[in-house]
Amino acid sequence: MNIRTETETPGLRELLAFYAEAGVDAALVDEPINHLAARSAVDPQEAVAQRPAAIEPERARPTAAAPAAPRNNQFQPGGTVAVPDEAQIALARQRAATAATLDELRDQMAAFDGCNLKFTAKNLVFADGNPEADIMLVGEAPGRDEDLEGLPFVGRSGQLLDRILAAIGLDRGSVYIANVIPWRPPGNRTPTPHETEICRPFIERQIELANPRVLVTLGGPSAKTLLNTTEGVMRLRGNWKTHVTSSGISIPAMPTLHPAYLLRNPAHKKFAWRDFLEIKVRLDQLREQAPLS
């Protein structure tokens, strides 16, 4: 009987599971590369000829010039990603303020290179739904499925969100959906506070241009960013708050639990259901005051 030891090389199944847990869930090229075959194809004599000569101690080599620092600490293709500074945040504010429409804002975000997340994501995830809807929902950041399709909430959490919306008589054609972070963080990691601050001007301008009559923040990070609070989502949820745009417009906001959290904690769906019932009541009140789109 063969007994597997701890030192035995893991099988393919274990290796794939390790890669999945580490966030390696997308191929960079369509065809696999056999690096072992590429090494064996090299002629040994040619490899020796290409080996660098030994350093001569008596001959001083010229000192190579230090590479120039990246402008504004931006990501350099083929290089490293430096920690962004306040310049990127200021540039994001400037770019967002110049956008007069949602289409212009999307173009500004697509051309913006000040966030390192852009260079590891496949697509800009801008928005989905009806930009003229009276209700706007904002999550934290795209996941793998959203990154591949370029649309927010299209994976399992998006399917749950669709069912929640249907329960109060809404669908994707009657809501507007976006994220605080428009690019997927590598491996679905949590965005850093600096990455959030760089993207904040864009989502705030997106809300201002969409001008919804009700704002719904999905999850704690979205609520903290858009409501300028440090309270946890379990204390915030179910209570109406106010989001104030840069032009001074006050929008009633309902913090609630993120669908991805509900998938991990199904017992808490009852809290989200209560929150969306409150949202339905508010929409009905607005409908009585003036027709909703």
Rounded-to-integer distance, Cα 49 and Cα 99, Å: 58
Q: Which pairing describes strands 214-218 and 241-244: parallel, antiparallel, or unpaired?
A: unpaired
- d(CA 275, CA 214) in angstroms, rounded, equals 13
Band the pLDDT of 97: cuts 50, 70, 90.
very high
Q: Average pLDDT for residues 75-85, to the nearest whole number?
A: 46
Measuring CA to CA, how many Å separate 151 from each of 11, 167, 177, 206?
A: 36, 22, 9, 15
152 against 41, higher pLDDT: 152
| Percent of the chain residues past pLDDT 70, beyond the cut | 71
Domain borders along the chain are: 83-287
pLDDT of residue 158: 96
Instruction: Say what the pTM is.
Output: 0.73
Q: Which helix (H) or strand (E) holds 243?
A: strand 241-244
| Tokens found for residue 45 | 């004599």
Q: Other C-beta atoms within 10 Å of 187: how many?
A: 13
Higher-confidence residue of 77 and 170: namely 170
Instruction: State which fold the 83-287 domain adopts.
Output: Uracil-DNA Glycosylase, subunit E (3.40.470)
Cβ proximity of 245 and 204 under 8 Å: yes
With contact defined as beta carbons under 8 Å apart, do 179 and 138 qualify? yes
Rg of the chain over CA atoms, in angstroms? 25
Residues 171-214: tens digit of each pLDDT: 999 999 999 999 999 999 999 999 999 999 999 999 999 999 99
Strands 128-129 and 176-179: antiparallel
Mean pLDDT for all residues in the chain: 83
